[in-house]
Structure 1
Amino acid sequence: MGCEQGPDQWDGVARQVVDAVEGLVALWIATAAEITPGLPARQLIALKTVRRRPDLNLTALAEQLGVGLPTASRLCDRLEAAGLLERTVQPCNRREVQLAVTPHGRRLLAEVTEGRVRRLAAVFAEMTPAQRAALHQGLLAFHQARTGPRRPPPPRRAPEE
């Protein structure tokens, strides 16, 4: 038997990571809720998506969020009513609605980000320098393993004659 073991060896580690991530997500959501009371997480995600992709139209936003066009439209209605998002009709294609985050929306997103940074920094302050370095290295490795270059598929066997 070789040195490699099956995926079961990682179950315990995975469960510990799930616990840690759930704690991080709770901190993440709580911070946004404190800064933006009354703004549901989905609306905040939509706003961040539009900020990240300024070329986004309503159809592309719906696709990015994995929702139907009517749902995305209602979401944008609420964001527009709150002064966080504006919709404009494209001059060259009047059926296309272009989305843009307003200055108020950008300020709100910056406040949420800063609040999250402060809360995370407070947690990091409770960790030793070695723990912080290990977390940093581990997160980078996780990100690379998840998003890095994909392994090529195994070569196809030639059909037997």
Structure 2
Amino acid sequence: MTDRRREPGSRQLATMIDAARVFAGITAESIAQSGAALTLPQLRVLVLASLAEPLNATAVAAALEVHLSSASRICDRLVRGGLLARRDRPDDRRHLELTLTEEGERVLADITAHRKRVFSRILRRIDPADRALLTDALGPFIDAATEYDNRRSLMP
């Protein structure tokens, strides 16, 4: 039996949906201003490639929850676009490793810088006490979303 006190209310859900819309809009605008013709899944692959762990198409497929062939096509497009490099892994030549190119790093940096500028502009419009409340409230949300974020490797 579900504990009804732990179920989110409709206002809480509506607020989260509205916030998601704002975040998605800022991300889309950031991608557009970077000059890179990226899809959201492609951006997610670039973020994965920016992490310390070795990346291959199998890991991409798992993170995006898509078939290996779909992940391979996404990676192929990023390689052709000069944003990812593909090479044999030094420890196992049977497996390929995907890494960011300098252009891929630049695109990610541009997207992140744009997002920071937009969020800074929005946060300046909020009273400092309310900003502190927002930060304190988002902490538990981020902690609760860790499982989702770890499975999906979302935005930086």
CA contact (8 A) 1:54 1:99 kept: no
1:21-53 per-residue CA deviation (whole Å, 9 max, x = no partner) reads: 212221222222221342212111111111114
What secondary structure does 1:87 align onto? strand
Go from structure 1 to structure 2 and tell me whether the alpha carbon gap of 1:66 and 1:8 turns closer, same or farther (over 3 Å shift): closer
User: Deviation of residue 7 (structure 1)?
Assistant: 4.8
Q: Aligned in 2, Cα 1:54/1:6: closer, same or farther, shift over 3 Å?
A: closer
Pair 6,110 (structure 1): closer, same or farther in 2 beyond 3 Å: same
Q: 2 CA distance for matches of 1:116 and 1:56?
A: 25
Give the secondary structure class of the aligned counterpart of 1:83. Answer: coil
The one-letter amino acid of 1:27's match is I
* TM-score, normalised with respect to structure 2: 0.82
User: Residues 1-161 of structure 1 correspond to what in structure 2 (within 5 A)?
Assistant: 6-7=5-6, 10-147=9-146
C-alpha distance in structure 1 between counterparts of 2:70 and 2:7, whole Å: 40
Change (3 A) 1:54 1:144: closer
- Tell me the distance in 1 between the aligned counterparts of 2:8 and 2:112: 36
Give the TM-score normalised by the residue count of structure 1: 0.79
CA distance in 1, matches of 2:85, 2:8: 50
Partners of 1:40 and 1:114 in 2: how far apart?
A: 18
Runs of 4+ in 1 over 3 A off after TM superposition: 4-9, 91-94, 145-148
SS at match of 1:6: helix
Cα deviation, 1:113-152, whole Å, max 9, x if unaligned, reads: 000000111111111101111110010122234449xxxx
Q: What 5-or-longer segments of structure 1 have no aligned partner? A: 149-161
Conservation of the 8 A alpha-carbon contact between 2:36 and 2:107: no
Q: Greater Rg, structure 1 or structure 2? A: 1
| Secondary structure, counterpart of 1:106 in structure 2 | helix
Opposite residue 123 of structure 1, the aligned amino acid is I
- Mean Cα deviation higher: 11-20 or 70-79: 11-20
Once superposed, what is the RMSD of the aligned Cα atoms? 2.2
